[in-house]
Structure 1
């Protein structure tokens, strides 16, 4: 018996709320709830990543624009999140579909044990037939460790739970070569394969709606994260959530991004997508070639410069001499230690530092090459 497919559906604030006043678009939410419940009854495992807490909080408190001050935004999110879940619970309950709330911060993704626990929780919810509703825990998140937008959050969740599909529901029907509301001659894009994605040229604004945080640029970034983890990604119109069913049946609605092959282990997906790099190591051409073409570990001899302040076991970006990221991984030494041993042969580490933790700076098992 084949494994049921896992779907992550992200819906943005622009789809959940009225553009004029930020109030809930109840007809859209009702259609979304009915669609997700039908998908569950058809055997799919379903996760909903829902924006809207801040916008709904603003509406409840009669605030006319999205707060800019972090503490106020967090307070407003706390007001809106309860209201948002109440609406979802009422609608899903009317269809006898149980739901669960999962609030995440980037810190939850960084800690390996927490990352694994999140995966296990999702698996148990799937077994129980529950639809998980995910949002960033805005009330406790800090600027340095925020996802930034729910497009990114949905892609990271899709990667974490090894989803088959990520649907990003937004306020346009598909991806265009430019914003069709500004450029009437913008061309629609229906399919993006893995080879074309790197060369994709789109005039993608990064400004979302008045009440949201996203834009097409964040959606493309999310698609890159998800497809690199083997998740087929779709950008489509949020006002018609029933289109998800049609897309799964093969109708050419929205823009689809073909996934890369899912060859990496879960640990490497965590390194690639879950962690926030805390520094950079600049490598000479020989080290870049050894890592990218021969699958080698990073040795101190190949390092020409160190940037940032990080500890052993932290995540760093590995960059070529032009500053372009070629990989990222977990270091065996701190930034101050690497500063002392950069350019040296591994045999000299002990004499320079007075001890030897490892002969490699980043072992190939803890290293993920960046897709080009």
Structure 2
């Protein structure tokens, strides 16, 4: 495989996030596969030995708890998932601590729920924790806090979590490792599919038939990995999708798997939080003129361009802005309560009372959302 600029950038990254999936580390019958875990740790430790800072986002807590609890398979109900996670998380953390100790490296466990990044203050706290752990030479091992996470505050999969953490720590690259060695233009099990070496835009994957994971342990699959890659790339972070068995080559040379080129300049922490991490409490419906102004010209949203309001939000909350076709085009901090807006809809500033003559969403508090890979598959 010919090295490319994006692959060279990933290989030379001085701070990176590595995510590994459940199926690459655990099995229903035996729990943690120590040989695979040790191989992953060896690959990470080799980069750390080169003065590279690495954050490891690891799935596998629920998978690691299935065998000890004799559950027979991944549980479907939340309470049993939480029980399995409480057992498996301890086993997984212990396995990582022992494995990294072979390289004289200390690990720090970081358990997150989506609430920890959806709330701005929590987001900053998590950022400080990662910064300090890395400055002390530790390897942060991150997982969703499955033991306490509810359906309402779950990330859904650790691919999304990894993309959020990558931006949160200022990573120069994100490496997604799973039981699939690359992105293909169809089901790789069919034997007649083509491997995609590099993705430079969303349109590169528009015609691909993307399926969800067939693993009994994973919750994501290729759809979630593409969404995570899109999120990271849109924020200025290149991504490598590769097989966990190729971890050493992926981290050292980045000459395996599928590389995703960063789509633009890196977003500030606040703008990334607004666009991809913040909790959303409502929606504003925009006419075509407002969409063009907000997305095309990066202007503030005025009441004249708002056609409808959904949700029960307060001034200062984060809301989605949707176009006439109900597609989300932006997110932003709204300047009015939901109850104030209906009387303002479609009215120009001159038609409003003086105390209401301000932007509904100011341009400085607004982030256009690029079209999701989910929307083109």
Query: Shared fold by TM > 0.5?
Result: yes
Q: Structure 1 residue 187 and structure 2 residue 190: aligned?
A: no
Partner of 2:4: none
Q: Distance in 2 between the 1:39 and 1:157 partners?
A: 19
Partner of 1:335: 338
8 Å contact 1:233–1:258 — kept in the other structure? yes
Structure 1 window deviating more from structure 2 (161-170 vs 261-270): it is 261-270
Partner of 1:276: 279
Q: Please point out which of 155, 161, 167 is paired with 2:163.
A: 155
8 Å contact 2:13–2:173 — kept in the other structure? no
Partner of 1:37: 45
Partner of 2:93: 85
Partner of 2:18: 9
The CA RMSD measured in Å over matched residues stands at: 1.8
Partner of 1:209: 215
Q: Distance in 1 between the 2:263 and 2:301 partners?
A: 25
Partner of 1:244: 250
8 Å contact 2:44–2:251 — kept in the other structure? no
User: Structure 2 stretches of 5 or more lacking a match?
Assistant: 1-11, 372-377
Q: Structure 1 residue 62 and structure 2 residue 70: aligned?
A: yes
Give the 3 Å change call, closer, same or farther, for CA 284–99 of structure 1 in structure 2.
Answer: same
Q: Which has the higher contact order (CA 8 A, sep 6+)?
A: 2
8 Å contact 1:99–1:131 — kept in the other structure? yes
Q: SS of 1:205's equivalent?
A: coil
User: Structure 1 stretches of 5 or more lacking a match?
Assistant: none
Report the TM-score when normalising by structure 1: 0.92
Q: SS of 1:218's equivalent?
A: helix
Give the 3 Å change call, closer, same or farther, for CA 145–340 of structure 1 in structure 2.
Answer: farther
8 Å contact 1:28–1:241 — kept in the other structure? no
Partner of 2:57: 49
Q: Please point out which of 309, 314, 327 is paired with 2:312.
A: 309
Q: Distance in 2 between the 1:195 and 1:21 partners?
A: 38
Partner of 2:270: 267
Partner of 1:359: 358
Kindly provide the CA deviation profile for residues 8-42 of structure 1, in whole angstroms up to 9, marking residues without a partner as x.
11000110023x62522211100111111111110
Q: Please point out which of 241, 261, 265 is paired with 1:235.
A: 241
Partner of 2:299: 296
How many residue pairs are counted as aligned between the two chains? Answer: 360
8 Å contact 1:208–1:214 — kept in the other structure? no
Partner of 1:368: 367
Report the TM-score when normalising by structure 2: 0.91
8 Å contact 1:179–1:205 — kept in the other structure? yes
Q: Distance in 1 between the 2:54 and 2:235 partners?
A: 18
Q: Distance in 2 between the 1:25 and 1:342 partners?
A: 58
Shift of 1:208: 4.3
8 Å contact 2:171–2:237 — kept in the other structure? yes
Shift of 1:4: 6.7
8 Å contact 1:283–1:303 — kept in the other structure? yes
8 Å contact 1:191–1:255 — kept in the other structure? yes
